[in-house]
Structure 1
Amino acid sequence: MTNRATQRPPHVKAPAHWGPSEPVPAPEAVTLAPEPARDGPDPVRYGDWESKGIAIDF
């Protein structure tokens, strides 16, 4: 079943010089590097960063 919102109207045609689209390649698996260990809570979770012993909130 196709979505009518993504189809071209019948009067709209692709230019004659356009060829058929190439198939989309299958996605490759992504492996993330392990995150380094931190001292204390995660600043993104708690909203504070520390710089030279001073907590900074942006």
Structure 2
Amino acid sequence: MKRPAHVVAPKTLTPSPPVPAPESVEKSIPVGEEKRLDPTRYGDWEKKGIAIDF
């Protein structure tokens, strides 16, 4: 998208540095959670032993 002709960038404006590439994150499963279903997949959460959904 181009700026309109009447809008001019300030002369003191410097170009932005390039954005660094994101680092990869290793997904780890908490101990004891290996066999449980993922609550975000099924829409239910457990809070203090009670299943809730939003």
TM score, norm. by length of structure 1: 0.49
TM score, norm. by length of structure 2: 0.51
SS of equivalent residue, structure 2 residue 9: coil
Measure, in 2, the Cα distance between the counterparts of 1:13 and 1:27: 30
Which position in structure 2 is the counterpart of 1:47?
43
Measure, in 2, the Cα distance between the counterparts of 1:34 and 1:26: 24
- Give the number of the structure whose residues are more often helix, by fraction: 1
Which position in structure 2 is the counterpart of 1:15?
10
Structure 1 residue runs of 5 or longer lacking an equivalent are: 1-5
Structure 2 residue runs of 5 or longer lacking an equivalent are: none
Measure, in 2, the Cα distance between the counterparts of 1:28 and 1:22: 17
